[in-house]
Amino acid sequence: MNVVDPRPVRRRRWLIPALAALAWLALGAFAGPYAGRLSTVAENDSSAFLPSSAESTEVAGLRAGFADAEATAAVVVAERPGGLTGADFAYLEAAGSGLAGLPFTLDPAPAPVPSEETAPEAAQMVVLIDAAAELDEAVSQIRADLEDARPDGLTVLVTGQAALGADLGAAFGGVDGLLLLVAASVVAVILVLVYRSPLLPLLVLTSSVFALSLASMAVFLLADAGAIDLNGQSQGILFILVFGAATDYALLLVARFREKLGTEPDRLRAVAAALRGTIEPIAASAGTVILGVLCLLFSQLDSNRGLGPVAAIGIAASFLASITFLPAVLALFGRAAFWPRRPAAGARARRSRLWSRVAGLVAARPRKVWVSTALALLFAAVFMTQLRADGTAQTDVFLTEVDSVTGQEVLAEHFPAGSGTPAVVIADAARAEHVAAAAEVDGVAGVSVTTGDGGEPKVVDGLVMIEAVLEDAPDSQAAMDTVERVRESVGAVDGAGAKVGGATAVQLDTIEVSERDRSVIIPIVLAVILAVLALLLRSITAPLLLVGTVVLSFAATMGVSALVFNHLLGFPGADPTVVLFGFVFLVALGIDYNIFLMTRVREEAAHIGTRAGTLRGLVATGGVITSAGVVLAATFSALAVLPLLFLAQIAFIVAFGVMLDAVLVRSFLVPALTVDIGPSVWWPSRLARRGKGR
């Protein structure tokens, strides 16, 4: 009788997880550096985000013909309380000559223009920077050169669109280092508290890092090839989204793996069983978020449209790492991954006392639970109307003091605040005088027609360019109101075909397009998520219920956010895209926890009925889903380390909303509704007709 040696078979069983882990190690080593290179292909110029059909975009294209090269204006403003001295003017003239010699500046050479006070306390110089130059480097060089030989007591600041853009780029500079460090540290601390193990958090974090490496490489290559648009905010959200999603998927898989280790002595079989039990909800979760964020492709703003594929790539990478690398290393480490609290084979699964009490409350008074929870959410949602999401001044974007904002304030004290950043009107040359006169509306400090070498109006292809200096800061609401009046006035000049552009018009058009995007994309997201849930749960009633609860949770989150932003933090307002991004992320991510819960409930209901299955599913998933919510909320909170209003608001909205979904909606509202409705929640599937126990 021949006896087959089982050892080669056993060795082959370990070959697949070992090779999978090695493949990810090699991929991580190759792709990892791309995370630090993303900022080199990011574009943070808001004027580049608008569609070609926007009026300001059309003007930007026509304006190029009136200059030898495209330029961005930097405004140098100098101030001395009590009056500028002769030495101050000598310094400014010398500084202007020096700046004119820099390789990135364009003609004309900047010359100091004093304020119109009796004893001028301020002077300004407009420096034109070649649009092809690196803006942050150019502004940094100008600021450094201006410090040379600056007279004592003279304040010299650089503001204008160039300086605002450079300071914005500097704020995003923390994406590569600080944001990653904070996000990883927060996740590590939470995982140690959850698992009480030093090794398992390391394995989960490694999975997240490998997912980020893969996502960063894919995004870099696509952005470098011009296939997708990337900016600083998309880059920051990518980092946070990957860490949060990969950790959430890991928590679900690890929890089921630990559960299986209690009944299955063989760790390979335990991993396989855990993966089979979680692959459906993890895939459904990833698919829902991917489809949700891809709805941003319907946006007319390139910045929004670019975030769609960037975020989708991040979620896809998180999914791949969670179902390949993480199962492989769990198989290799087995029970040792949970050291020092290794789960013993044959040990009874421990029921959480907390979640048993929650399930008991839901079982005893389901209608009272869901009605009171829904009323609390509705009360919070009432305050959503107080959210000011109609745009903010560009200078309000910064949460810390920056020179460009301070310089704008000094400029506004002594000059028309729109100096250096005029509104630009392009019109038919034959109607130039009429258009120039029409442009002199309330809020315009002065109007001038661009002239050529002979002092006559410069005509390019039968068109002239007219500049209107605004009285208010170019990024203010008052300036945007003025641009609207200018557009209305010059548009009424027959035969002129006048169009108005410039920095203020770009901001105005961006807000209008953002509002259009919000009204178009939100219904599409809801329809997509409803379709995914219907396929997953094989039901119509349950998806409608789940989406309704998440939308209610979103409204409550925005209501609380309005109170916090307006009264606690004193924010000046919010960009319209804050509402859109908040909705996309909260609905797509918030529905995840309902997917995790309801897939387990459906699995249990098929055996023991809807009522008992709901309560068992709630107890089984309570701890892991709450932990996942805490991780995702904490990682999104890390966005607040970047000192920008938009990211701070997104950080709070998503963090608070995710916790609301994980703790209140998923723990009380959804289970109570499911128990109260009973088997009909699965209509029209066969499970609804079984009628097994409510």
pLDDT at 653: 92
pLDDT band, residue 45 (cuts 50/70/90): low
Average pLDDT of the residues in 421-441: 91
CATH class (in words) of the domain with range 55-168: alpha beta
Q: By C-alpha distance, which of 114, 112, 115, 119 is closest to 82?
A: 119
Cβ atoms of 405 and 170 within 8 Å: the answer is no
What integer pLDDT is reported at residue 48 of this predicted model?
Answer: 56
Identify whether the C-beta of residue 367 lies closer than 8 Å to the C-beta of residue 672.
yes
Using the structure block, give the residue that is written with the tokens 């990682």: 635
In contact, 686 and 598? CB cutoff 8 Å: no
Residues carrying CATH 3.30.70.260, the chain:
422-501
Does 9 score more than 50 pLDDT? no
Report the half-sphere exposure of 573 (CA within 13 A, side-chain side): 15
Q: Give yes or no for a contact between 642 and 174, defined as CB atoms under 8 angstroms apart.
A: yes
The pair phi, psi for residue 499, each rounded to 5°, is -130, 145
Q: Please compute the mean of the pLDDT values over residues 250-272 and round it to a whole number.
A: 85
Report which of 662, 667, 655 is spatially closest to residue 582, judged by C-alpha positions.
655
CATH classification code of 1-41+197-350: 1.20.1640.10
Do residues 599 and 632 touch, judged by C-beta distance below 8 A?
no
User: pLDDT-derived band of residue 12, with 50, 70 and 90 as boundaries?
Assistant: low
Tell me what pLDDT residue 691 has: 53
Neighbouring C-beta atoms of residue 371, cutoff 10 Å: 15
Confidence of residue 133 (pLDDT cuts 50, 70, 90): confident
User: How far apart are the two ends of the chain, measured CA to CA in Å?
Assistant: 59
Alpha-carbon distance of 179 to 528, in angstroms, equals: 31
Rounded mean pLDDT, 380-404: 84
> Residue 18 corresponds to which tokens in the numbers above?
């070992």
Amino acid 379: pLDDT: 95
The pLDDT tens digits of the residues spanning 275-334 come to 988 888 888 889 888 998 999 999 888 878 888 899 999 999 999 999 999 999 998 888
The pLDDT value given to residue 6: 47
Q: pLDDT band at residue 352, thresholds of 50, 70 and 90?
A: low
Tens of pLDDT, residue by residue over 616-631, are 888 888 888 888 888 8
Quick one: pLDDT band at residue 5, thresholds 50, 70, 90?
Answer: very low
CA distance 277 to 269: 12
Give the residue range(s) of CATH 3.30.70.100 domains in the chain: 55-168
The confidence band for 661, taking pLDDT boundaries of 50, 70 and 90, is confident
Task: Kindly report, residue by residue over 558-606, the tens digit of the pLDDT.
Answer: 999 999 998 888 888 887 788 888 888 888 777 877 888 888 888 888 8
Separation of alpha carbons 289 and 284, rounded Å: 9
**What are the tens digits of pLDDT across the range 180-238?**
788 888 888 888 887 788 888 899 999 999 999 999 999 999 988 888 888 877 888 88
Res 594: pLDDT: 82
Mean pLDDT confidence for 436-442: 93
pLDDT at 627: 83
- Angle at alpha carbon of residue 645, lines to 639 and 651, rounded to 5°: 30
Residues of the chain with CATH 1.20.1640.10: 1-41+197-350
Q: What does the pLDDT average to over 48-73?
A: 79
Q: Which CATH class is domain 422-501?
A: alpha beta
Q: pLDDT value at position 486?
A: 94
Least confident window among 7-11, 215-219, 656-660: 7-11
Which band of pLDDT confidence, cut at 50, 70 and 90, is reported for residue 176?
A: low
User: To the nearest whole percent, how much of the chain has pLDDT over 90?
Assistant: 27
Closest listed residue to residue 220, CA positions, set 46, 48, 39, 43? 39
Whether the full predicted model's pTM is greater than 0.85, yes or no, is: no
**Strands 122-130 and 113-114, sheet pairing:** antiparallel
What is the widest separation between alpha-carbon atoms in the chain? 114
Q: What is the mean pLDDT of the chain?
A: 85
